[in-house]
Every structure is written in structure tokens, then in C-alpha cells.
Structure 1
């Protein structure tokens, strides 16, 4: 997932409230650590996707089983702990939560390298989803409180480097590591049979522990108060109501109350994530089965394509939002809708290409537009979310991306096995899912423009009223 700039209510205007800002070195140290952890997260997941065909062969899995391992297994625990952990982000020191998250993620990744069968691999992936569920909400919350509003867009743009580096270097070095270990005989360690590619997972897990340690040295910033729409939770309520509040019940009510704004954005995200995350996992098996390429060749060709595409996408998204912002109040959503349209066309074209290189080119262009639209889409949610529940609303939004994105690998795998029925024609399964899901996602994003524009106008009026009241109070004193 791409990380996006936070604006508007997530980044209140300077002078509206007192806030003790960390020093610039402390803030940029914190941002650097978050970028490193983000890099490792995407590097690990990208390398795991590169291993897909090796896992299938050595564990004797069907496409459906491989699809479950690639996605749904990692979100089962997220369903139960993702929102509560986001609540912890709103209540306790975020650097501690993020340090624990990084350490748990590293340990569980190492367990994946020790798995002896499909069931153990599933269990490890389940725990991995739980361990990493606090990273995005905690990182978002820290950055917004570490940097002054004018610095927030550049801070989130820099955070994209973690995503770009992880996904491109993961492809390149993943291919190299797989090639290097492809001829290793299985090892016997304390009665465990470890395949060559499993040592890659063990090594990846070890890298997370230094990152966890670095989090502990971040200077925890103070939390800013909400300029508008503060949410007050009743104090004298039964225990059951308190549990529901902790689980995100109030944030869910807030989303429902403004469903005309949130629902189209959530629906578009869910459908697009299913396809984009799904094809991301099946990308290497598709190229192997359809064009006869190996992982090393895929890494050598695809990595530079992705690097260029994502750097261009990072700039393109900001340019589009800035240009539309001068003309339209729905600039964030409008930009996302245009990018969704381009992603749909490129994704449908990729499996129809006559060569693997052209297919990878189409995938890279789709990635470019996906990255260009992601910051605008994420910023749209941050702009309308009440700051008092920003962590939980963000967690619900990220849950949609995580849950439905994780289901993508299963959906494509199931279509490949039960609809297409021929492993060699995996490209047809990718094309079918894209043809069904992406046009619906694009239409939903376009439909979100009007209600989002109306909500922005309402928020701007409220913020202007508060600013005027603050000015009058200052004059009176």
C-alpha cells in the first residue's frame, strides 16, 4: 500500500492551537525509522510473492491453497486485533507500539522459514498479519504530530520511499536470492526440513529486530487536539459499551453517519485492492507459467520498470492534486478517479501481451497510476475524518485495503482452479477478475466526487468559523 499525504483536518492550520513540536532532528529521525520499517514491510511481502511458485511446488499446493497462503491467512488475526491495536495507538506511546509490532513481525517471518507443512505456514502468516496491523495507523499518527502542517505533505512523500524501495528492491534482490538458493538441497536442522528458499524468510525476519530497537529512540510527540468535531465518549457506561468503544464502535458510527461520503470511497478501495493485491501476488507465477521466465530474469527486468514507474507516479500524483486543487474542491477524489481509470486499462492489457517484457511494462504503468492515485485517495479520508478518531477511522480504511487486498490472491487462485481449470492459463484468471472488479471500482470512485466536495465545503465553513471566533477572542483579551 502506498502512503499518502495528510491534509485538512488531519493537519490543522498553524496558530489554531498550542502544540509543542519536536525539534527538526528528532522529527526527521522518527520519520527515517518509519521509512526503514515501511521498507522492510514491503520488501518482505514482495519477496514472499516472488517465492510463490517455489512454495507451491515444494509444499505441493493447489492454486487455491497458494492463494489462501498469499492473502487471507495474513488477515485472519487482523480482523480481531487490527482495530483494537489502532485504539492502542490513540492511547499509548506510539513508539512502543511500533517497536513491538516490528519485533513480532520479524519473529513470525522467521517462523515462516521453519514451517514444515501447509498448516504451519498458514499459522505463521496469520500471526504475521496480527503483528503488522499497528504499523500504518501508528506511523500516520506519529508523522502528523511530529511535523508542522506545512511539512506534512513532504513528510508523507518521503515515506513513499519506503514503499518504493521495498517493492522494487524486493523484486530485484528477491529474484537474486531465489536464484542463489534454487540449487540448495533441503537442510536438516534440529529435526526440521528447511528448503533453500526458507532461509530467505529467516534472514528477512532477522532484519526487523534492529528496526524495532530504533523505534525506542524516537521522541514521542504530544498529540494535537481536534480543531472541529471532537468526539466525546460517555464516561458512565456499562463494560460492554466500553469494550465496543475500544473496538472502534464510535468510529464506525461516525463512518455510517457520513456514509454518502465514505461508502463510495471504501467500496472503490475494496474492489481495486482485491485485484491489485491479487495480481501482485500472482505476478511471478503468471510470468513463469505464461512466458517461461524465471525469478531472476523477472527481477532484472521488472525491478527497474517498477522503480521508474513509481518515481514518476509519486510526482504525477502530487502534480495532479495540485493542479485540480486550484479548480475543484474534490481534487483528491477526482485525481484518484482518473488514476483508477488508467489502472483499469493497463491491468486488462497486461495478461494479453505477446511477451513477458511487454506484460511487465503494462503492469509497471498500472503501478505508476496506482501510486499516483493512492496519496490522493488516502488524503481524502484523512481530510474528512474527525481527528479525535483519526487513528480508528484510518484503521477501518486500511482494514478495507488489507482485508480485500488479501482476499485478492485467493480470488484469482480460485478462479484459476475452478473457473479456468488449467494452471497454464493463469492469465485468463487475472483477466477475468480485472474485467469484473476494476470497472466497478472506477465507477464508484467517480460517484464519490460530488458528496466529497459537499463535505469539504462544510468542513471549510466550520474551520473558518472557528478561526474567526479565535481571532475575536484574542482581540478581546
Structure 2
């Protein structure tokens, strides 16, 4: 039976809000499953007798290598095949592997489970970015990506909240089951209700089915030859390295240096941080769309640079302030200002990408972000903390994390430079 292309396009547009909501919920589950170790790692450390370096590997490099590198072949598949199905299958895999982590009785078993989570999550973001870019035109894309990025802050916050409360009452293993298993149900919902739009639907110029599929080298070469895109990738990579290091080790820092319990972090820090991050993501996306309409796309990159500069003193304050209350308030201010970067960054990258390379550009960006940001951030924080422990004792983690926060001006420069090049272009 022949399907009317116009009817298919109209159906995709009618369902785009539902599709965006389900992709955001999938991203939410991705971050819950990815960040659940952060609130549990002090309990896991005591139970399995692990070092900070081993904990850093579990939440960083071991996960990131598989997550990032497998994103490339998945993106190549997503540029050819049904993206909705890829997201649904991937969600089912990583949810099952998160639950399997609760069965681990040593470092190696937990490592294998976390590698499985990384393998599953590799199939989530590249096809999701591509679907969203096909459903929303450039002037609405940053707002849509801002909504999608809610998955990061809400997933991390509610994962901490739910995981911490469950772990406090029933242990860290049950928390892994509670966080992981519902994702298998969501995978069925995604498969049934997310739409697969025509590629390039929301753009004025689209490709045809007869267009040649560019090679993987074309994807890398096209980013390297695009000045604004290259600076955006560098900026978001550095930002992610700092952010992943803080997110992975923030709860442990609050336990060791600020005197919080796992339950107190879940009740008094996780939800306010989630609300602040959500407000930042939504407001940042809408502000970016408005700035693009009134000043041009370059203003989006400049906006991120300004907000990150304003957030820097609060980032440093989280680690340097002696009072637990003041430190947490400083952390919430940092989240409110700094978490607006994802929507505008990914929207700009998708807008700069050739239509046939959108999923691949997203995967290449995520490859760099995750190998360096997610891979090195939490891992090096743990390594440096162990190295500093003989001289600084329990305060070694505080100063290890501060080293990463001090790299923020480097990221700010790249956002500013991307904006300057976009304004010229």
C-alpha cells in the first residue's frame, strides 16, 4: 500500500509534542541509569571494598568507552534505518543491565554490568537528536532541544532522590532494580507511540532518497572544516568534563566533607537541584530561540558563554565554602545558571550539520564529549583524589574536584569564539 508523503508529514507534525515528550522521558531514564552510581557509590565502596579509582572507572572511562565508540555505528544505522526502533531497543538493553548491576558481588561483575549500560545507551541520543531536528524548524529547535535536555537534570536529580531513599531503606542493590526495571516498560511505549519523521521534514531544503550517503570520514572532515561547529564541540566537551566530574562525585563530596547522609542528600539537595536544572534548561532554550530570532543564531553561543561566566563563582563556592548550607546554596545557583547550555549547543550543531549527517554529527559530538568528558572527568577525579589522600585525607576529593572546576574559563572561550564565527558567517 502506498503511503501519501503529505499525510505522513502531517501525522508526524501532529505527534511531535508526544514524540518529544517520550524522547525526553527516554533521556531521563538514560541519566537515571547512568548517574545512579553517584548516590550509591559510598555504599558500594563500603560493601565491595573499592577504591576511588575503581569508583571513577565504573562511572567514567569503563562506561564511556563503549557508550561513545558504539555511538558512531549506531548513528550510521540511524542515518539509514528506523530511528524510533533503535531508541526503543537501546532503552530495553540499558534498563536490563542497570538492574543486573544489583546482582554484582565484586568489582568485575559490576564493571560488566556498567559496560552493558554504556552499550545500550549508545543507541539513544544520536537518533533522538536526528528525530527532533526533523520535527522542529531552526527557529524552534533550541527550545525543543532545551526540553529534551531536561532528561539530564531531572534524570540525575530523581535518580539521586529515588535511589538514595530506596538505598537508605533497602540497600543499594534494590535501588538498582527499582531504577532499572521500569525502563523496559517504557521501551514498549516508545516503540508504539514515537513517530519516525521524514528526514529533513522541518528544513526548507531536504534530501531525496537517491542522495548518496556520505562516508564516516565525511562526517569528521565536515565538522573539522566548520569553525563554529568545532568550537562548539570543544566547548561542550570541556563543560561536560567538569559537569560529569561534579555530578559523579558531588554526593560523595557532600558525605565526606559536608557531613550529609545519603538520605539527606536525596531529600534536601536532589529535588531542589533538579528543579533549578529544569528551570535552567527550559528558560535557556526559550531565551536562545528568542535571541536567535532577534539577533541571529550567533547570540545563542554568546548567551551560553555569559551564563557560564556568571555561574563560575558559584561553582567554586560549592567546594570552597565551609558551611554546608552555604555550599549547597552555591551549588543550586551554579545549576540554575549553568545548565542551559545543552539545548542551544546541540541545536546549533544540528543546524550546522548537513541533513544526511545529523545523526552522525550528533554521534561524533557525543563520542568526543563522552570519551573526554564522561570518560576522563569522573575517572581523573577519583585518581587525583587517591593521589592526594596521603596528604589531605578525607579532603582530597574536595581539591580534586576543584581542579576540574578551574577549567571552566577554557570552555567559556570556545563558546564565545563559536558565537563570533557564527556572527561573521
TM-score by length of 1: 0.80
What displacement does 1:441 show? 1.6
What displacement does 1:328 show? 5.1
Q: Report matched runs for 1:1-20 at 5 Å.
A: 20=9
Measure, in 2, the Cα distance between the counterparts of 1:329 and 1:36: 28
Measure, in 2, the Cα distance between the counterparts of 1:262 and 1:89: 21
SS at structure 2 position matched to 1:224: coil
Measure, in 2, the Cα distance between the counterparts of 1:233 and 1:71: 41
Give yes or no for contact 1:52–1:281 (8 Å, CA) kept in 2.
no
Q: Report matched runs for 1:17-166 at 5 Å.
A: 20-22=9-11, 26-146=15-135, 152=141, 154-166=143-155
Measure, in 2, the Cα distance between the counterparts of 1:420 and 1:331: 44
Q: 1:417-458: per-residue Cα shift (whole Å, max 9, x none)? A: 1145444111111112222x2122222222222222233xxx
Q: 1:287-321: per-residue Cα shift (whole Å, max 9, x none)? A: 11102210111112112421331243134414542
Alignment length (residue pairs): 414
Q: What residue is the counterpart of 1:190 in the other structure?
A: none
Structure with max Cα Rg: 1
Distance 1:229 1:220, change over 3 A: closer
Whether 2:173 is the aligned partner of 1:198: answer yes
Distance 1:420 1:324, change over 3 A: farther
Q: Report matched runs for 1:205-220 at 5 Å.
A: 205-218=180-193, 219-220=195-196
Measure, in 2, the Cα distance between the counterparts of 1:150 and 1:429: 41
What displacement does 1:113 show? 1.3
Choose from 269, 276, 288 the match for 1:302: 269
SS at structure 1 position matched to 2:322: coil
Measure, in 1, the Cα distance between the counterparts of 2:69 and 2:143: 33
Structure 1, 40-49 or 99-108: larger mean CA deviation: 40-49
Give yes or no for contact 2:144–2:343 (8 Å, CA) kept in 1.
no
Choose from 405, 419, 423 the match for 1:449: 419
TM-score by length of 2: 0.89
CA RMSD, Structure 1 to Structure 2 (Å): 2.7
Measure, in 2, the Cα distance between the counterparts of 1:403 and 1:371: 20
Q: What residue is the counterpart of 1:440 in the other structure?
A: 410
What displacement does 1:141 show? 1.9
SS at structure 1 position matched to 2:28: helix
Q: What residue is the counterpart of 2:3 in the other structure?
A: none
Whether 2:233 is the aligned partner of 1:263: answer no
Measure, in 2, the Cα distance between the counterparts of 1:33 and 1:269: 24
Measure, in 1, the Cα distance between the counterparts of 2:244 and 2:272: 18
Q: What residue is the counterpart of 1:377 in the other structure?
A: 345
Distance 1:250 1:42, change over 3 A: same
What displacement does 1:323 show? 5.5
Give yes or no for contact 1:420–1:429 (8 Å, CA) kept in 2.
no
Distance 1:269 1:55, change over 3 A: same
Structure 1, 146-155 or 391-400: larger mean CA deviation: 146-155
